[in-house]
Amino acid sequence: MKQSAQGFAGTGIPRVRADEARVPAQPRAAERERGTAGSGGGDVRDSGAVRDSGAVRDSAAVRGEHTHSEVPIHRPRPVVQRASVRGQILDALRTALVTGELTPGEVYSAPALGERFGVSATPVREAMQQLALEGAVEVVPNRGFRVVVRGARELAELAEVRALIEVPVMLRLARTVPAERWADLRPLAEDTVRAATSGCRATYAESDRVFHRAVLALCGNEQLVCIAEDLHRRSQWPLVGSPVTRGRADLVADAAEHVDLLEALGAGDLDVVQALVREHFAGAS
């Protein structure tokens, strides 16, 4: 890590000058003999002990440790937000996966991506390891991470699993959740429509995820919500050779189904709810 006049680059940690690590002033010999050095007039019977303790303080000060004879300097402690950097890189990589900017089958190294994002390789490597756990990439020893190649069959299987999980939940919610609760989610559905109109796959993917999570959260089962969200994210990764599989018109049609779904849920129309959810997942693949 490079060190500049202001401190360690990129960390916000101030540099400490060599002349700041000073050895505390020592008591004069006459004071030691009287046993009054730093004791407020108390009796120090063993002058050798004083010298020894002073030597310990000297050694501690040289090492940069706090000693009782020093005047403490009250400065705000710098906050290093490493976790937030890793989270931002993870979000950026997920966006690159959705848009196809990270090409299926290609290998990407952490140092190269770190240079691109303007950060060190460490947070990139940590984010990539999280994506490996999610199944988006696989580790290539001594090279980096390869984006997983996926086909139409995998997307169809994901859609089937999502339907098996979410259709029964949606039907139960349609029978138990009051209509006004569904009306509260209307702004989220409208957000997906606006995002779809923009034509940006990444923007739509995020608004779509937020909407589905809010709907499923009404079931009160956080484990189910997390599993469904993981399946949802995986279903948004593009196929090999087709970075953009859905155009703006497809996104707009998909978003319109969110509004229709809320209306059916609020009305308690179970047949329409089931048909919309299954069609929605099939269209997403």
Task: For the chain, give every residue range classified as CATH 1.20.120.530.
Answer: 152-284
pTM of the model: 0.64
Q: pLDDT value at position 245?
A: 54
Topology (CATH) of 82-147: Arc Repressor Mutant, subunit A (1.10.10)
pLDDT number for residue 44: 40
Give 246-278 pLDDT, tens digit per residue: 678 889 999 999 999 999 999 999 999 999 998
Residue 125 scores a pLDDT above 80: yes
- H or E, element range at 44: none
Per-residue pLDDT, averaged over 157-168, amounts to 92
114: closest CA among 105, 126, 106, 122?
122
Rounded alpha-carbon distances, angstroms, from residue 232 to 38, 158, 254 = 69, 8, 14
236 — pLDDT class (breaks 50, 70, 90): confident
What per-residue confidence (pLDDT) applies to 283? 65
Helix (H, G, I), strand (E, B) or coil at 104: coil
pLDDT of residue 51: 46
Task: For residue 239, list its beta bridge partners.
Answer: 242
Average pLDDT over every residue of 47-76: 45
Question: What per-residue confidence (pLDDT) applies to 129?
Answer: 95
- What mean pLDDT do residues 213-238 have? 92
- Is 1.20.120.530 the CATH classification of the domain at 152-284? yes
pLDDT class for 82, splitting at 50, 70, 90?
Answer: low
Beta-carbon contacts of residue 280 (< 8 Å; ≥ 6 apart):
254, 257, 261
The band of 50, judged by pLDDT with boundaries at 50, 70 and 90, is very low
Mind giving me the DSSP string for 1-20? --B-SSEETTTTEEP--GGG
Closest residue by Cα to residue 88 from 61, 53, 119: 119
* Sequence ranges of the chain with CATH classification 1.10.10.10: 82-147
